[in-house]
Amino acid sequence: MQNLSLQQRLLQKLSPQQIQVIKLLELPMLQLEQRIKKELEENPVLELEENDFSAPEEDNPNDLKTKEDADNEEFSVDDYINDEDEPSYRFETNNYSKDEKIAEIPYSESNSFHEYLQEQIAMVMLNEEDSILAEQIIGNIDEDGYLRRELEAIVDDVAFARNISTNEKKLSAILRIIQELDPAGVGARDLRECLMIQLSRKEMQRVEVRLAYRILEDTFEEFTKKHYDKIQRKFNIDEDDLRDAIDEILKLNPKPGSSFSNNLNKGNQTIIPDFILEIVDDEMILSLNQRNAPELTISNYYANMLKSFRDNGKGMTNDQKDALLFVKQKIDSAKWFIDAIRQRQETLMMVMNAMLQFQREFFVEGDETKLKPMILKDIADLTGLDISTISRVSNSKYIQTHFGIYSLKYFFSESMQKEDGEEVSTREIKSILKECIGNENKQKPVTDDELASILKDKGYNIARRTVAKYREQLDIPVARMRKEL
């Protein structure tokens, strides 16, 4: 049996405009530019103000007329609706004048890494089946030059894909041929083999080269862990001989394929500051980067078209009604987008001003030790915004100061209490750690226990595991891995 009942519930939903603001808020500079460009392409009503156009004098808004309006005075609504009657040549891209010169700029691109290997293997006298097997192996070599796939798996691959029956022994023989190709070290299955292949091409009559080869062959694990004393005892050599051998190893390329990478295809991140901070007479002046604050407007032509449609409301045809609906939707969408951009700018400035207020000493002097402990909640309390909003603002945003460009996330750090009760930023402790490690004796690096003791002497009573955590965050290896001869 079904019953009908009334329920009253309180729901919180985001409007489309709020969702748009949230999405725009977290975009960094370059992505914001792409987003605006996309909106300009999709919405003909939206326009980007040019800097060389001055604002018209204030008159009756209905009497405003732009250059675009003057050019389109004779453009009727019927022309707009029936634009499919236009001659096709008006929409073609090859309707250039005979006198117009179109210069095509040629560009060159070198062969890829795998193409380079294929060209070399083609010069080797292999029969048809061996050439197919070599091609299969080369296809499994990654961009660093390593063969990560097991030969046993490649045996199965050629059986299914090429209908060729082979075995690991034959593939190993072909792999040795590939390992003789350039660059030296290509086709290796691990770092040890890669380095040994490169050393084998050097002058083996040299003592340091032979010793370097033996170190990789017999004591590779000790070498990677920098147990130099064990290597010296193993080969009965002094420190100078070991240093010469290690220098030979350090000259080798651990990623032979990387030299053939096309840097033009790699996306190098360009940092464009969202904020610009200037200090004038000890006063901080904050501004948004102009690229972050575009002047978007609604086309007067489409606004006048909408007004014309409404004035002739009773006598409109169905096509005109569809056109009216289309223009109205595009104008509403443009207004929403312009308002979302404005709200984004206001929120960015509000958050950044709060951060300047909280970290004033640092932004004036540029001294890292002046950074106060600051978390997202601190700025949320100052601005009255939600913590998630502060997180979105600080994500992938940068500020340009008189002492460098910084990510906004750089200024957020946890606090730690010194022995005298003073609260300091963990970034200050990391700075001391970095300085201690930079000044250490590389033959006997400072351990985490010793670093904890040094910090304790300076008034920072923290445990060894905390020191290890901060060291890892600074991307500094353990003491044993920092050891040098």
- Is the whole model's pTM more than 0.95, yes or no? no
Q: What's the whole-number mean pLDDT along residues 103-131?
A: 77
178-215 pLDDT, tens digit per residue, is 999 988 899 999 999 999 999 998 888 889 999 999 99
Q: Is the pLDDT of residue 397 over 60?
A: yes
140-175 pLDDT, tens digit per residue, is 999 889 998 899 999 998 888 888 888 999 999 999
pLDDT of residue 54: 38
Cβ atoms of 448 and 464 closer than 8 Å: yes
For residues 381 and 111, the model is more confident at 381
Cβ atoms of 53 and 375 closer than 8 Å: no
215-248 pLDDT, tens digit per residue, is 999 999 988 888 888 999 999 998 888 888 988 9
Q: What's at 275, amino acid-wise?
A: F
Which are the contacts of 484, defined by CB distance < 8 A and separation ≥ 6?
A: 442, 443
Element (DSSP H or E) covering residue 285? strand 283-288
Neighbours of 189 (CB within 10 A): 15
Fold held by 415-482: Arc Repressor Mutant, subunit A (1.10.10)
pLDDT of residue 69: 46
The C-alpha atoms of residue 227 and residue 109 are separated, in whole angstroms, by: 45
